[in-house]
């Protein structure tokens, strides 16, 4: 999975106000919650740092429903594994000066690897647009429960939209990380490879398949 945020400019054009500064911390995979607990402990024990904290460290999650052994199971999954979002006044909003003491202390927390940095190698706050997009995505993904779609190579599917809507094809490649598929649809005696999203197809039930699935 690609980084959820990566600032490319060397220095921020304008540092957001204290309450609007958001940073991305790269942490040990599968240790996100432990890193958050260690960060909370730091902010509680260090009053100066605690005063700069604008909201609780965040590990965005979503609920995913899947069927296992004929039973529906709901799991909470992290949207961005390996990352923690920190709403913290790390820079002076007037001068843009970095609080080096806070930077070093946060980066020294057990479980934290580094800040997502720009070319200057210093922590840079997310832009207002990035923050808005991030909050919108977190809110959208937190509403309700998403059904996990499992599609395998050789599954027969029907295309739900586009020029090949209604046509059936065989799944040739699966990119489960990004929810993408390559489907071969046969038209006029030749196979047409289509690159589609999971949401653009529907699996054909076993008893309705035209093409037997090879073992």
Rounded mean pLDDT of the chain? 84
> Do 23 and 44 lie in a common domain?
yes
Residue 11 banded pLDDT, cuts 50, 70, 90: very low
Tell me 98's DSSP state: B
Residue 4 banded pLDDT, cuts 50, 70, 90: low
pLDDT of residue 148: 66
Distances (CA, A) of 155 to 69, 161, 204, 210: 20, 18, 8, 11
Radius of gyration of the chain (CA): 23
pLDDT of residue 201: 85
Q: How far is it, in rounded angstroms, from Cα 43 to Cα 49? A: 6
Q: What digits encode the pLDDT tens for the residues 157-187?
A: 999 887 788 899 999 998 876 668 899 998 7
Q: How far is it, in rounded angstroms, from Cα 144 to Cα 141? A: 8
Where in the sequence is the domain holding 80, given as residue range(s)? 18-147
> Do 58 and 39 lie in a common domain?
yes
Closest CA to 60 of 89, 36, 90, 88: 36
What is the number of structural domains in the chain? Answer: 2
> Do 139 and 83 lie in a common domain?
yes
Q: How far is it, in rounded angstroms, from Cα 48 to Cα 42? A: 10
> Do 92 and 175 lie in a common domain?
no
Tell me if 69 sits within 8 A of 21, measured CB to CB: no
Residue 9 banded pLDDT, cuts 50, 70, 90: very low
> Do 106 and 201 lie in a common domain?
no
Which CATH number do you get for residue 53?
A: 3.30.70.940
Which token pair is 210?
Answer: 């035209």
Average pLDDT over residues 107-119: 88
> Do 143 and 166 lie in a common domain?
no
Average pLDDT over residues 123-149: 86
Which CATH number do you get for residue 171?
A: 2.30.30.30
Q: In the listed set 97, 117, 147, which residue is the last one of a domain according to the structure?
A: 147
pLDDT of residue 89: 98
pLDDT of residue 210: 65
3 state SS of 101: helix
Tell me if 181 sits within 8 A of 204, measured CB to CB: no
> Do 162 and 89 lie in a common domain?
no
Tell me if 99 sits within 8 A of 106, measured CB to CB: no
> Do 79 and 102 lie in a common domain?
yes
Q: What digits encode the pLDDT tens for the residues 78-107?
A: 888 899 999 999 999 999 999 999 999 999
């Amino acid at each position: 999975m690609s980084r959820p945020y990566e600032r490319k400019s060397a220095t921020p054009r304008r540092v957001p106000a204290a309450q609007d500064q958001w940073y991305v911390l790269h942490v040990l995979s599968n240790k996100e919650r432990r890193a958050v607990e260690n960060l909370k402990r730091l902010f509680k024990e260090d009053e100066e740092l605690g005063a700069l904290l604008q909201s609780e460290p965040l590990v965005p999650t979503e609920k995913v429903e899947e069927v296992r052994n004929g039973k529906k199971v709901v799991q909470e999954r992290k949207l961005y594994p390996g990352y923690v979002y920190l709403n913290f006044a790390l820079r002076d909003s007037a001068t843009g000066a970095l609080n080096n003491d806070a930077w070093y202390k946060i980066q020294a927390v057990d479980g934290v690897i580094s800040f997502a940095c720009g070319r200057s190698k210093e922590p840079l706050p997310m832009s207002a647009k990035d923050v808005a997009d991030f909050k919108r995505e977190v809110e959208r993904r937190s509403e309700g429960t998403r059904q996990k779609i499992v599609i395998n190579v050789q599954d027969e599917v029907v295309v739900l939209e586009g020029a090949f809507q209604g046509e059936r094809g065989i799944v040739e490649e699966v990119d489960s990380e990004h929810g993408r598929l390559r489907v071969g649809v046969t038209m006029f005696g030749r196979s047409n490879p289509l690159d589609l999203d999971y949401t653009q197809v529907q699996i054909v039930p076993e008893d309705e398949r035209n093409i037997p699935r090879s073992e």
